[in-house]
Structure 1
Amino acid sequence: MSDLKDPRVLFAAERTLLAWNRTSLSLIAFGFVVERAGLLVDSIAPNAMHAAQMLATFWLGLAFILLGAFTSLFSAFQYRQVLATLTPAEFPPGYNARWGLLVNVAIGVFAILLTGALWFWRG
């Protein structure tokens, strides 16, 4: 439990959460690009890629998307644990510190749904 009674502790934890949020979004976006790159190359030059290469881009893209989802969900879990250690004096009056937590969980869930959609509609 923190006894600093300083809201900067909360804001430092929130900045860390937002940094992990950006990292997870980058991983998800990169995974989507990698997953769709095989389809793009196949549509531009149909004989340029073998089926194994198409499959590799599909699985590698899904792996990056799931890594982004895991990163988002785990950072939300870590942030929740930090919030539990803070005292009420470390929260500014009227400040809702749980919005970042909700956004990270939503991003993780949406990334998992994206993975399911790409799996279901794999080209």
Structure 2
Amino acid sequence: MSSLNDPRVFFAAERTLLAWNRTSLAFMGFGFVIERSGLFVHSFAATSSFGMQRDISFWIGTVFIVLGACIAVAAIVQYRAIMRTIESIEIPVGYQVNLVVYINVVTIALALALTVYLVFGLK
């Protein structure tokens, strides 16, 4: 990618990955809020037959959480593609280049765990 031997290129790629990680976390948080707001609205419903029914807010919230996980996966793929083009001289000595990837993997795992909890945990 760069023949300048400039470590700023690497750090820009890392910042971009972390920005996508923040975006994926925002999607997941928004999805959780949407899902829980539907439950909150149902708790104030006038009907006495309140149950843990899954309405549109549940599914929209779950889709946002899964979309957040997909954004995190896409960010890792993009970061890996950029890292293949960066020369080793552009990476500072001793720097852990995969640390941000591990952070994204943890984000993905938490999103999937939250999705499984919401879909299968509420009966």
- The TM-score with structure 1 as length reference comes to 0.89
AA at the equivalent of 1:63: V
| Alignment of 1:46 onto 2:45 | yes
For 1:8, the equivalent position in structure 2 comes to 8
Alignment coverage as a number of residue pairs: 120
| Separation of aligned partners in 2, 1:93 and 1:87 | 12
| Separation of aligned partners in 1, 2:102 and 2:67 | 18
CA-CA distance at 1:113 after TM superposition: 1.5
AA at the equivalent of 1:7: P
Unpaired runs of 5+ residues, structure 2, are: none
| Separation of aligned partners in 2, 1:32 and 1:55 | 14
| Alignment of 1:33 onto 2:63 | no
CA-CA distance at 1:73 after TM superposition: 1.0
For 2:117, the equivalent position in structure 1 comes to 117
For 1:64, the equivalent position in structure 2 comes to 64
| Alignment of 1:74 onto 2:65 | no
AA at the equivalent of 1:47: A
CA-CA distance at 1:54 after TM superposition: 5.0
- Higher helix fraction (1 or 2): 1
Q: List structure 1 segments (4+ residues) > 2 angstroms apart after TM superposition.
A: none
User: How big is the alpha-carbon RMSD for the aligned residues of Structure 1 and Structure 2?
Assistant: 1.9
- The TM-score with structure 2 as length reference comes to 0.89
| Separation of aligned partners in 2, 1:114 and 1:56 | 18
